[in-house]
Structure 1
Amino acid sequence: MNSSTRKHRKKKYKTYILLFIAAILATPLGLFYSFGKLIQPVEAYSNSTISIEIPSGASTAKIARLLKDNNLIKNDFAFRILSRLSKSDGKMQAGKYVLRNDMDAKSIIQALVAGDVTHDAVKFTIPEGFEFNQIANRLAGNELIDREKFVQLANFGDFNYKFLEGIPKGENRLEGFLFPDTYQVAKGSSEEEILKKMLDRFNQVFQESYYQRAKELNMSVNEVITLASVIEREAKLDNERPLVSSVFHNRIKSGMLLQSCATVQYILGERKENLTLKDIETDSPYNTYKYQGLPPKPIASPGKPSIEAALYPEKTDYLYFVVSKNGEHTFSRTYKEHLNAKNGN
């Protein structure tokens, strides 16, 4: 083989390599360009609005199909990819929306995640630590629900959520599971729609890793939320919640009574600053001064910091805590230390 032939073949080989590299580079660029087009507005220069209702519990795939059927997005699969990339999967809220087909897919996702429903909407806020009765009273006071119907539905309605598995229908069934947050609902929303909106929010917060952690602790979801609700009522500062949690975990392990004032206050139906001996003697499975372990059900709606504290307590050997006037706690390992802390020593 002469040198000219070898040079020709070498040149030809280099050309193939360059073409191959170009093809590899062109493929993602082409895909990126195509994806970019698919998430653009359906009609970029249109002002027309479209009313659409996202049902409670709808998956991202179902939401994408609804949007595509209503000519609000170009491609449902591209919408699903974008929701995954933007970490919005499972965060889009149910409700009645007025959207425009000059909105791109990103703007639509942002509106659905924010719960930016129609202008004919009402906002309400449920603070962390609210009990079910307080929630019902607030919603009824804002004329958003029929209280009797709301309570009946909460106790005996059909709700298909993983976190409610094993919790029987009956009084205070949803205590602790109506997530505390600010909500926006369309005027005239039914009691069921409002309940499901709050349960959907809990479902978003209580992620899969929490279920796995509960198993590691040998706790049911109900037990986790029950402990979280006690932590919510006992601790005022987020940075102290894991420490309060450690005290309760340590007490349970050692067979001690939890002795939480918050559980007695729940029985009494009022938040007395100082409990009497008579209060502490109240006979109820919720009375953690009389009965070992956790109460049978949550005593309030815990926020995310309290849920995480219940699942991930600080590693300590504390068995006691006492609150000071400024809301901070002093933690102790022995009863003697605890008495000194109570006496301000």
Structure 2
Amino acid sequence: MTQTIENNKKRRKKPILLYFFIIMLIIVLVGIYGVKKYVDNQLKPIAIDNIKEVQVTIPKGSSSSKIAKILKDNNLIRNELVFRLFAKYEKMDNKFKAGKYVFNTGMTQEEIMGKLVEGGISKDAITFTIPEGFELKQIAERLHEMNLADKDTFLELASKVSNFSSEYEFLKEVPEELSLEGYLYPDTYEVYVDASEKDIIRKMLNRFDNLYTDEIKAKAKELNLDLNQVITLASIIEREGRAESEREIISAVFHNRIKAGMMLQSCATVQYILGERKPVLSTEDTLIDSPYNTYINTGLPPGPIASPGIKSIEAAVNPADVNYMYFVFNEDEEGTHTFSVTYEEHKKAKNRIRKK
């Protein structure tokens, strides 16, 4: 009888212990997940838009902890400890070199560490900045003015996706007849003064490749948009959306018009055809026979009309949940627009703005 009672107690203890171990395992797994999520967040760039260039000097003999403090003080990393641990994990902490560096707030910690391993800026390096919304020809002109590239050579290389599609998987999704318009990411770059036109193009394509994340790809797939459609729409948003807070709303207007089978009627696409940014388009301008003219063609134009920044790319796949079909520029310093659902509301908004 006593033996039976003891056996029953042992049987009861087994499931209690099993439940205890399961609960402890869940707690540990949740803890690991929480730590991983926190670390991943700390490894992200400081900014994804309004990226700023930052020059720093790493003194000789600086330890990884001192370098981390310099980077944190200059708002280039989020967490000193995470930086040091990540550097140790990647076996880079003893490879950092002293010197002068040009970083930017859009760089990941891994990119920053890579530059620290390569070494500082030499007297033969130079930086250049390409603003968001620049067209290929404007990029070429800026590089030409800085004596970094021959304009004609640069434009010739950038005129065909096929010149670089063997090197970049994402370019295989872009129609071969298109140029690299829209895919040379606007940012601040550092190159050697003797860098070739190809070197510069590759650097800009690498930046685009890094920023076109799996999350953006997944959103695009949900909307049934391919890469070229996303960047084409993003480039129009970039040129139309002056106020950052409105980009997702402008995106929604274009999405709504496409769904309704309406023409986008974007002034930016006509300005692209004209090769100039006229503040007011004439009736003749809107009737130009071109596949890029969204006043006479439905849907998106064949390809991008400028280089969009990450904010506009994200807006293209994250349209606001609104039913607006029209917008008109308020002609204010903030660059805001008035949005309307019906054409009658739109006409009233235009008349009100004209009377100001």
Which of the numbers 293, 304, 323 marks the counterpart of 2:329? 323
1:111 aligns with 2:124: no
1:78 aligns with 2:83: no
Which of the numbers 230, 238, 259 marks the counterpart of 1:253? 259
Deviation string 1:240-279 (CA, Å, 9 cap, x unpaired) is: 0000000000000111110000000100111101101110
The TM-score with structure 2 as length reference comes to 0.66
Matches within 5 A, 1:135-154: 135-154=139-158
Q: CA deviation at 1:90?
A: 9.0
Q: Which residue of 2 aligns with 1:165?
A: 172
Deviation string 1:165-186 (CA, Å, 9 cap, x unpaired) is: 232444x510000111111111
SS state at 1:297 partner: coil
SS state at 1:318 partner: coil
Deviation string 1:7-50 (CA, Å, 9 cap, x unpaired) is: xxxxxxxxxxxxxxxxxxxxxxxxxxxxxxxxxxxxx969xxxx
CA–CA distance in structure 2, aligned partners of residues 280 and 266 of structure 1:
12
Q: 1:219/1:127 Cα in 2 relative to 1: closer, same or farther (>3 Å)?
A: same
Q: 1:90/1:130 Cα in 2 relative to 1: closer, same or farther (>3 Å)?
A: same
CA–CA distance in structure 2, aligned partners of residues 208 and 168 of structure 1:
21
Whether the aligned pair in 1 keeps the contact of 2:130 and 2:188 (CA below 8 Å) is yes
Whether the aligned pair in 1 keeps the contact of 2:186 and 2:307 (CA below 8 Å) is yes
CA–CA distance in structure 2, aligned partners of residues 144 and 45 of structure 1:
34
Please provide the CA RMSD for this pair. 2.7
Whether the aligned pair in 1 keeps the contact of 2:254 and 2:325 (CA below 8 Å) is yes
| Corresponding letter in the other structure for 1:287 | N
Q: Which runs of 4+ in 1 moved over 6 A?
A: 87-90
Whether the aligned pair in 2 keeps the contact of 1:332 and 1:338 (CA below 8 Å) is yes
Q: Which residue of 1 aligns with 2:132?
A: 128
Whether the aligned pair in 1 keeps the contact of 2:291 and 2:301 (CA below 8 Å) is yes
Matches within 5 A, 1:322-341: 322-326=328-332, 327-341=335-349
SS state at 1:277 partner: coil
SS state at 1:177 partner: coil
The TM-score with structure 1 as length reference comes to 0.68
Whether the aligned pair in 2 keeps the contact of 1:224 and 1:310 (CA below 8 Å) is yes
CA–CA distance in structure 2, aligned partners of residues 192 and 126 of structure 1:
16
Q: Which residue of 2 aligns with 1:284?
A: 290
CA–CA distance in structure 2, aligned partners of residues 112 and 289 of structure 1:
52
Identity of aligned residues (%): 50
| Corresponding letter in the other structure for 1:120 | D
CA–CA distance in structure 1, aligned partners of residues 341 and 174 of structure 2:
35
Whether the aligned pair in 2 keeps the contact of 1:318 and 1:331 (CA below 8 Å) is yes
> Which of the two has higher C-alpha Rg?
1
Q: CA deviation at 1:212?
A: 1.2
Whether the aligned pair in 1 keeps the contact of 2:164 and 2:171 (CA below 8 Å) is no
Q: Which residue of 2 aligns with 1:177?
A: 183
Q: CA deviation at 1:295?
A: 0.5
Q: Which residue of 2 aligns with 1:271?
A: 277
CA–CA distance in structure 2, aligned partners of residues 184 and 88 of structure 1:
13
